Homo-oligomer: A and B are copies of this chain.
Amino acid sequence: MKITIIGTGNVASHLAPALKIAGHDVISIRGRKLKPSSLDKETELYIIAVKDDAIKKVAKNIHHHSAIVVHTSGSAEMKVLKQCSSNYGVLYPLQTFSKERKLNFNNVPLCIEASNKKTTNILLSLARSTSKNVFQINSSQRKWLHLAAVFACNFTNHLYTISEKMLKKNNLSFDLLQPLILETAMKVIESSPKKMPARGRSPLGWQTGPAIRGDKEIMKKHLALLSKENQYRKIYKLISKGIQRAHE
């Protein structure tokens, strides 16, 4: 397929090579350079991989009714692309991309939605050419999926950041926590129903620590340690309460 990718961020930087490896003919261009005259008329698919608030601006410059136009956002509406073509949709890769880090694109879940059945089928086939994890996800599901990803990825990374800061302050290496971080993730990743007893099929069943044990003494000590760290103290209280409620 002849594909034009608009955007030079983390998503575009991973998507472009993955599509090339799958044998597609890919042109990448910067969002700000985009003018109707700069577009290749043979393009069959435009992938708009820019920040949400820039999608509309890019879309204004694309009018190509024989092509498909998609964006890659977890949150933006599909219909913002309505003006570009009657064949539009979403190709949302559910992963945390960083330019500095390679990853196996074949495992990245690709979430597809489109304005009509023909477009859906073309996008599904394209997605399957680069990933073995392809899903049809509607707009409402996609919003929740993106929000869930913020909790599971962005917020989790912030917790790692907080723990690293605590260790640094006490002359301890972050390496100490790495086996724990990996095991915490692997517990919920390897919990397929076939392998695990019922309680292990959900992160709920793997919860450990003072809050779930109701160990008030330890929790008091932890809050005392955080007496000068108001922000961490608030997070400690709020999430501990959440853990206890989730198990009620």
In contact, B160 and A203 (Cβ under 8 angstroms): yes
C-alpha spacing A127/B35, complex, angstroms: 65
Chain B residues with Cβ below 8 Å from A21 are none
Interface of chain A residues 173 through 191 with chain B (CB within 8 A): 174, 176-189
Chain B residues with Cβ below 8 Å from A156 are 156, 159-160, 181, 184-185
The 3 closest A-B pairs by CB, nearest first: A154-B209, A148-B163, A160-B203
Chain B residues with Cβ below 8 Å from A180 are 94-96, 109, 149, 152-153
In contact, A52 and B218 (Cβ under 8 angstroms): yes
| 10 residue pairs bridging A and B, Cβ less than 8 Å apart | A95-B179, A96-B183, A96-B206, A98-B206, A109-B180, A148-B164, A148-B177, A152-B177, A154-B209, A231-B238
In contact, B172 and A178 (Cβ under 8 angstroms): no
Minimum C-beta distance from A12 to chain B (A): 14
Minimum C-beta distance from A155 to chain B (A): 5
Binds B, one of A38-46, A63-71, A81-89, A132-140: A132-140
Minimum C-beta distance from A45 to chain B (A): 24
In contact, A159 and B151 (Cβ under 8 angstroms): yes
In contact, A174 and B158 (Cβ under 8 angstroms): no
In contact, A149 and B169 (Cβ under 8 angstroms): no
In contact, A159 and B161 (Cβ under 8 angstroms): no
Minimum C-beta distance from A31 to chain B (A): 15
| Copies of this subunit | 2
Chain B residues with Cβ below 8 Å from A109 are 176, 179-180
Total count of chain A residues near the partner, CB < 8 A: 99
In contact, B141 and A170 (Cβ under 8 angstroms): yes
Minimum C-beta distance from A120 to chain B (A): 18
Q: Which of B141, B172, B174, B203 contacts A172 (CB 8 A)?
A: B141
Question: For the complex, would chain A's binding face be called helix, strand, loop or mixed by DSSP majority?
Answer: helix
Chain B residues with Cβ below 8 Å from A172 are 137, 141, 144-145, 148
In contact, B184 and A96 (Cβ under 8 angstroms): yes
Query: Which among A169, A199, A217, A242 has the highest number of chain B CB atoms within 10 Å?
Result: A242
In contact, B158 and A152 (Cβ under 8 angstroms): no
C-alpha spacing A172/B136, complex, angstroms: 11
Chain B residues with Cβ below 8 Å from A217 are 52-53, 75
In this assembly, does A235 line the interface, its C-beta being within 8 Å of a C-beta of chain B? yes
Q: Which of B52, B158, B161, B163 contacts A149 (CB 8 A)?
A: B163
